[in-house]
Amino acid sequence: MTRSLQWHVSINLGIAIVLSGLIAAITSFSLAYAEAKEFQDDMLLQIATLVAADAPQSRSPGSDGSAQRHNANVAATRDSGNLVRLIQLPNDPAPSWLAGDLLPGFHTVRTEEEAQIRLFVRDTASGQKAVVAQSTEPRNEIAIQSALHALIPLLIACPILAWIFMHILRRDLAPISRLARTLDQQPADRPEGIPVAGLPREITPFVHAINRLLLRVNDLMAQQRRFIADAAHELRGPLTALAVQAENLRQVNSLQGVSERLIPLRAGIERARQLTEQLLSLARTRAAIAEAKDVNVSEMARELIADCFSFAESKQIDLGLEETEPLSLRASPELLRSILRNGLENALKHSPSGSVVTVRLVSNADLAVIEVVDNGPGIPIVERERVFDSFYRMAGAAGDGSGLGLSIAREAALRLGGSVSLHERPDGTGLVFRYEQRRRP
């Protein structure tokens, strides 16, 4: 299931609102409870102070004046049906929950009915004790009512706030939906960049990244279209030549003439075959997934030298290997072989007779370098990057190559995370084909 950002944020905000309401209710209850407790204690203290001030004028415990004053005090201390009891010891009888000897001050006691009573004890000037008592239920009700007054508005506001948040989120996330529709309407072969005007600042980096990706896709599509056009152009020439040679062969009447016409026909077929193989090699290289393995580069170089030795010998080229120590590299064997083979074949093809071509292996702790050094005519500096383009051949270049070898080598190097470059030979005329790759631990 796909996760909805809108619902996720709404639920989290709703939970946050409910938790805030609960915290506010608990805080309100605590503050109201403390305030109610303080208010009750102040009331009991004031009543006890009044009783203590009136105590010297009191009469004997059994007189009518004492009973009238006591009843007046009780009647005066009624508050919304909550009775404040006044007990003067030892004149009045002590209830069961009142201990015989209480020190002056505030106390909280429990009755037989498990009800709590808050009382204040004070010594009067006449040597008596004034006890003012009231149940704790009123203050608890005040605290609960205060908490409910704080919680109920928040609970009512929760669905309203949730709707407001969802509406705001839906409005703020609408640009993402518009971006999705814009991308869906893009042509597959030529996608265009997304305009960033009017987009939120938080989405802009994401849109810029998409535009950069679309730019790379456009470049890749342009390269593919150019490659297909160049391939069609390159294939048209050999196939046209083969058609002409086949037509000429059909018009020959003698066996000797057939033999003579077969030689260029076979050469044309070989060129077409080589071009097709290089096209397939380039396509495989671009689509290949580089599976890294431990490759013995020294052994691979010796095998390729052995494969090319007959061609080098036919051109009287001194072909050899130079290394200080065996070289191993973590890479795809197929891609690495393609790089080394193309570099070696180009050096042998363009070097004149009597030349020297050397495969040089150099390595250290961080970098591995494979070089193919020749003493041929070399390549001008302005042409050293263009020769890596597919089907590009320098003007006046010898041979009948298709211009794909170096392009295949660079594509394979990119797949391996390395680089291919061409350099001047420092000790004379010629060219250095160099492949570099970082050694992985």
Highest mean pLDDT among 3-12, 108-117, 192-201, 314-323: 314-323
Residue 227 DSSP symbol: H
Interval 417-429 mean pLDDT: 85
CATH label of the domain that carries residue 409: 3.30.565.10
**Shared domain check, 9 and 131:** yes
**Shared domain check, 331 and 264:** no
Residue 82 DSSP symbol: B
**Shared domain check, 434 and 397:** yes
**Confidence (pTM):** 0.49
Highest mean pLDDT among 103-117, 275-289, 330-344: 330-344
**Shared domain check, 153 and 9:** yes
User: Does any domain span residue 193?
Assistant: no
Sign of CA dihedral 13, 16, 21, 22: positive
| pLDDT given at position 254 | 74
- Asked if residue 118 lies in contact with residue 133, where contact means CB atoms within 8 angstroms, the answer is yes
User: Does any domain span residue 81?
Assistant: yes
Distances (CA, A) of 110 to 77, 140, 309: 21, 15, 111
pLDDT at 216 over 70: yes
Please tell me the distance from the alpha carbon of residue 177 to that of residue 169, in angstroms, as a whole number. Answer: 12
Answer with the one of 96, 125, 158 that is the final residue of a domain: 158
The residue assigned the tokens 């003012």 is 132
User: Does any domain span residue 179?
Assistant: no
For the stretch 120-142, pLDDT in tens is 888 877 777 888 888 888 777 87
The string over 52-74, giving b where at least 16 C-beta atoms fall within 10 Å of a residue's C-beta and e elsewhere, is: beebeebeeeeeeebeebbeebe
Nearest-CA neighbor of 99 among 133, 69, 137? 133
For the stretch 351-401, pLDDT in tens is 888 889 999 998 877 888 999 998 888 888 888 888 877 666 665 555 555
| pLDDT given at position 441 | 55
**Shared domain check, 305 and 270:** no
| pLDDT given at position 433 | 92
- Among residues of the chain, what percentage have pLDDT more than 70? 81
Please give the residue range of the domain that contains residue 416: 290-438
Interval 298-323 mean pLDDT: 90
Of the two residues 64 and 48, the one the predictor is more confident about is 48
Tokens at residue 36, please? 């109610």
Lowest mean pLDDT among 122-131, 165-174, 270-279, 305-314: 270-279
**Shared domain check, 66 and 142:** yes
Tokens at residue 420, please? 């291919």
Average pLDDT, the chain: 77
CA atoms within 13 A on the CB side of 177: 8
CATH label of the domain that carries residue 229: 1.10.287.130
Give the total number of structural domains in the chain.
Answer: 3
| pLDDT given at position 77 | 43
| pLDDT given at position 378 | 81
Interval 40-57 mean pLDDT: 75
pLDDT band, residue 71 (cuts 50/70/90): very low
Reported in sequence order, the residue ranges of 58-196 that DSSP labels E, i.e. its strands, are: 85-89, 105-110, 116-123, 129-135
For the stretch 31-45, pLDDT in tens is 877 887 788 788 888
For the stretch 98-115, pLDDT in tens is 766 778 888 888 877 767
**Shared domain check, 309 and 232:** no
| pLDDT given at position 417 | 85
* Helical (H) or strand (E) element with 421: strand 419-424
Interval 258-270 mean pLDDT: 75
**Shared domain check, 110 and 219:** no
Using CB atoms within 10 Å of the CB of residue 409, give its burial: 0 to 12 exposed, 13 to 18 middle, 19+ buried.
Answer: buried
User: Does any domain span residue 344?
Assistant: yes
Please tell me the distance from the alpha carbon of residue 413 to that of residue 427, in angstroms, as a whole number. Answer: 27
Of the two residues 314 and 194, the one the predictor is more confident about is 314
Crossing angle of the two packed helices 204-251 and 255-287, in degrees rounded to 10 = 170
| pLDDT given at position 188 | 74
pLDDT at 6 over 70: no
CATH label of the domain that carries residue 154: 3.30.450
Interval 215-243 mean pLDDT: 73
Answer with the one of 158, 186, 214 that is the final residue of a domain: 158
pLDDT at 59 over 60: no
Answer with the one of 281, 305, 336 that is the final residue of a domain: 281
Sign of CA dihedral 302, 308, 310, 313: negative
**Shared domain check, 17 and 153:** yes
User: Does any domain span residue 323?
Assistant: yes
**Shared domain check, 296 and 269:** no
The residue assigned the tokens 């909805």 is 4
pLDDT band, residue 58 (cuts 50/70/90): very low
User: Does any domain span residue 60?
Assistant: yes
User: Does any domain span residue 13?
Assistant: yes
| pLDDT given at position 302 | 92
Interval 186-193 mean pLDDT: 78
**Shared domain check, 259 and 212:** yes
**Shared domain check, 304 and 249:** no
Please tell me the distance from the alpha carbon of residue 93 to that of residue 116, in angstroms, as a whole number. Answer: 20
Phi, psi at 106, each rounded to 5° = -90, 145
User: Does any domain span residue 132?
Assistant: yes
